[in-house]
Chain A
């Protein structure tokens, strides 16, 4: 089984709809991240969480919210989806610390299309 899983893998929705993307991990890591990837722009950080009670905004958090339900689960919500949120979304995890244990591991991604 994959260490970092994301559901759904693909989603097509309409403008104005509320969407939730879910991420689960079995790596036992305390840190989790949500990124989006757009062609030509690379991956950009949306939100991150260093433990269950910690939520931090990334560089492009507007229009998104997150919930850290447990150490292993981190959900991303689009309260009212708009077409420019069409992108590939990735969840990632890492162990705590700034030394050798902070390699990030990524899920397979969710392709979201907002019509």
Chain B
């Protein structure tokens, strides 16, 4: 059974810092990995999707990497801003379904 772990569970940083969120998974037989952002009381917004054959994806200040063999992904956020405050979820796609981690709650202070 696939298990997805995100560390740390919560993170607080001052504005402007570069930061890394971690995601690990137990079964490397995945099709892709997706990073989401969730704001309080709102749905999930897809940030990046990395296919199993890819090593990284970039979107603006976000960069996600995937090391399938070691079961790890990282989400790098450059020059963090207060508007980045949210919970970040990673999810790995196995056969027919996504398995989610429990998220990292990020707070960026002005």
Interface of B is mostly: strand
Is A74 interfacial (CB 8 A cutoff)?
no
Q: Are A42 and B43 touching (Cβ within 8 A)?
A: no
User: Quick one: which of A48, A56, A105 contacts B46, CB cutoff 8 A?
Assistant: A105
Q: Are A108 and B32 touching (Cβ within 8 A)?
A: no
With an 8 Å Cβ cutoff, the count of chain A residues facing the other chain is 26
Q: Are A40 and B102 touching (Cβ within 8 A)?
A: yes
- Report the minimal beta-carbon distance from A90 to chain B, rounded to whole angstroms: 6
Contacts of B91 in A (CB 8 A): 43, 104
Could you mark each residue 30-48 of chain B with 1 if its beta carbon is under 8 Å from any beta carbon of chain A, else 0?
Answer: 0110101000011111100
Inter-chain CB contacts under 8 Å: number: 52
With an 8 Å Cβ cutoff, the count of chain B residues facing the other chain is 23
State the CA gap A92–B91 with chains docked (Å): 13
Q: Interface residues, chain A, CB within 8 Å of chain B?
A: 4, 33, 40-45, 48, 50, 56, 58, 90, 92, 98-100, 102-109, 111
Can you list 15 contacts pairing A with B, beta carbon distance less than 8 Å? A4-B43, A33-B97, A42-B100, A42-B101, A43-B91, A44-B100, A45-B97, A45-B98, A100-B51, A102-B31, A102-B93, A104-B91, A106-B44, A107-B43, A111-B41
Q: Interface residues, chain B, CB within 8 Å of chain A?
A: 4, 31-32, 34, 36, 41-46, 49, 51, 89, 91, 93, 96-98, 100-103
